[in-house]
């Protein structure tokens, strides 16, 4: 049965409430109950209603007028499902239809994709995202964007080359292209832009790949690592990618064939399990036969690898107090890992992110007595996952 924390949530706001709980909970049983019964997961309904209210305030228009436009642009059934709460997540196509219907700028749209929908933002090495950005900034509609995508679809060069482009005008290539796109004011200028820089395009997210491979190489080069699955916690050699995948899974089961895993929170935590095949495709930048797209680095995998390499055992000596250490760790993850890759920042309303934040806080600032040996960040996450899904299967 769901426990009633509505008063606490309303008093603090759902996001602040969830973050506060991440810093209060040491006991894993309490954590499991919170995740299964009380977690205030971010919803499509909530985020869309927030954007509608913002649009009403900015344009001085009515709720009914905005809903009518959304229905015209996105379809009656879709809008009904989003506002009723039936839809649990948005695809990128659906999210883009919303941002066009609400006439967001490209910058606002990218933030909406990342922080409201937990999707990657607009990526200026992907010709489709370049077109979306151009059309949004130019006040054009979604249909016009699709027309331009059909016209330039053949120019999504994947796998894209490895140009020595980081020195272009002393900017990262993605930043350079972003600046150029924002300067385009006509279709002729856009056509010239595509022709001039076509060799730099490709949907493959290079920066995320570079970070992922750097972390992967670090793990492979460790003399010994802890496998965490072993009850004795003894060190073991990691020599195969199968074992690396086991490390990265952190006791998270695959959803395939796991119909007993129900609920939005558990599904969100368990999605995107890294398989040996997926790791091989990422490493080799291989195209999938059906989609003709390269397997991309998932945000979850990037986060877990970073935690495994960088945030295992805290070094308190670098910080005035443990609270500063925790805050700095969160800032580093957001500013140095996620934001440069166009990925959503840590969100206490995302259950997987919440578990990470709780584990980091536990490692850096827990009230557990000093003479009690604590798990480090990764081991703590493993213990939570093991009990969370074991209990889910038992029930």
Q: 130-189 pLDDT, tens per residue?
A: 999 999 999 999 999 999 999 887 654 444 545 544 445 456 777 888 888 889 999 999
Please say which residue of 203, 225, 242 terminates a domain.
203
The pTM (predicted TM-score) of the whole model is: 0.85
Read off φ and ψ for residue 225, nearest 5 degrees.
Answer: -135, 160
Residues 194 and 219 placed together within one structural domain of the fold: no
| Cα–Cα dist 265/35, whole Å | 7
Structural domain contains residue 24: no
Domain end marker among 174, 203, 232: 203
164 and 265 belong to one structural domain: no
Q: What was the pLDDT predicted at 130?
A: 92
Say if 171 falls within a structural domain. Answer: yes
Q: Are residues 302 and 341 located together in one domain of the fold? A: yes
Write down the pLDDT at residue 171. Answer: 60
Local confidence band at 44 (pLDDT 50, 70, 90 cut-offs)? very high
- The distance from CA 377 to its chain's CA centroid, rounded to whole angstroms, is 19
H helices of the chain, in order, are: 6-12, 14-22, 28-33, 44-59, 63-74, 76-84, 92-101, 106-111, 127-137, 142-152, 173-181, 187-197, 206-221, 241-249, 264-270, 276-284, 299-310, 322-332, 351-365, 377-394
Domain that holds residue 130: 124-203
DSSP letter for each residue of 310-345: HSSS--GGGSSSHHHHHHHHHHHIIIIIIGGGT-PP
Predicted pLDDT at 107: 93
Does 244 share its domain with 385? Answer: yes
Query: Each residue of 193-234: pLDDT tens digit?
Result: 988 887 778 777 888 888 999 999 888 877 544 444 444 454
The per-residue pLDDT for 230 is: 45
pLDDT at 3 exceeding the cut of 60: no
Q: Is residue 350 part of a domain?
A: yes
Q: Does residue 251 share a domain with residue 228?
A: yes
Instruction: Examine the domain organization and report whether 222 and 339 are in the same domain.
Output: yes
Does the residue 339 lie in any domain? yes
Same domain, residue pair 352 and 225: yes
Q: Which DSSP category does 250 fall into? A: T
* 226 and 151 within one domain: no
Report d(CA 5, CA 75) in Å as an integer. 35
The dihedral region occupied by 41, where left means phi > 0, alpha psi between -120 and 50, and beta the remainder, is: beta
Q: Write down which residue in 203, 226, 258 finishes a domain.
A: 203
SS3 of 1-23: CCCCCHHHHHHHCHHHHHHHHHC
Asked if 9 and 17 touch (Cβ cutoff 8 Å), the reply is yes
Domain count, the chain: 2
Label residues 92-104 b or e (16+ Cβ within 10 Å = b): eebbbbbbbbbeb
Pairing status of strand 225-226 against strand 235-236: antiparallel
């Amino acid at each position: 049965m769901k426990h009633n924390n509505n008063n606490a949530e309303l008093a603090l706001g759902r996001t602040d409430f969830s973050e506060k709980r991440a810093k209060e909970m040491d006991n894993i049983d309490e954590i499991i109950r919170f995740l299964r019964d009380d977690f205030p997961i971010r919803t499509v309904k909530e985020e869309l209603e927030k954007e509608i209210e913002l649009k009403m305030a900015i344009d001085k228009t009515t709720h009914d007028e905005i809903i009518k436009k959304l229905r015209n642009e996105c379809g009656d059934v879709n809008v009904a499902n989003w506002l009723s709460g039936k839809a649990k997540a948005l695809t990128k196509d659906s999210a883009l239809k919303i941002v066009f219907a609400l006439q967001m700028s490209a910058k606002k749209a990218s933030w909406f994709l990342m922080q409201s929908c937990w999707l990657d933002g607009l990526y200026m090495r992907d010709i489709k995202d370049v077109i979306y950005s151009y059309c949004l900034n130019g006040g054009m509609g979604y249909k016009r964007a699709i027309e331009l995508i059909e016209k330039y679809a053949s120019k999504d060069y994947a796998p894209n080359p490895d140009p020595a482009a980081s020195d272009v005008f002393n900017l990262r290539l993605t930043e350079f292209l972003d600046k150029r796109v924002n300067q385009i004011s006509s279709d002729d200028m856009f056509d010239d832009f595509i022709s001039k820089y076509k060799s730099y395009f490709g949907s493959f997210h290079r920066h995320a790949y570079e970070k992922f491979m750097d972390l992967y190489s670090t793990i492979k080069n460790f003399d010994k690592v802890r496998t965490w699955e072993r009850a004795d916690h003894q060190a073991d050699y990691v020599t195969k990618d199968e074992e690396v995948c086991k490390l990265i899974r952190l006791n998270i089961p695959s959803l395939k064939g796991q119909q007993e895993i129900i609920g939005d929170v558990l599904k969100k935590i368990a999605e995107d399990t890294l398989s040996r095949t997926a790791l091989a495709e990422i490493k080799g930048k291989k195209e999938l036969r059906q989609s003709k797209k390269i397997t991309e680095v998932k945000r979850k995998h990037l986060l877990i690898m970073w935690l495994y390499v960088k945030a295992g055992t805290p070094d308190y000596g670098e910080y005035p107090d443990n609270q500063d250490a925790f805050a700095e760790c969160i800032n580093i993850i957001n500013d140095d890992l996620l934001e440069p890759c166009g990925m959503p920042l840590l969100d206490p309303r995302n259950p997987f992110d919440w578990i990470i934040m709780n584990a980091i806080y536990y490692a850096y600032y827990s009230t557990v007595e000093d003479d009690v040996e604590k798990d480090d960040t990764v081991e703590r996450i493993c213990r939570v996952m093991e009990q969370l899904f074991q209990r889910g299967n038992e029930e």
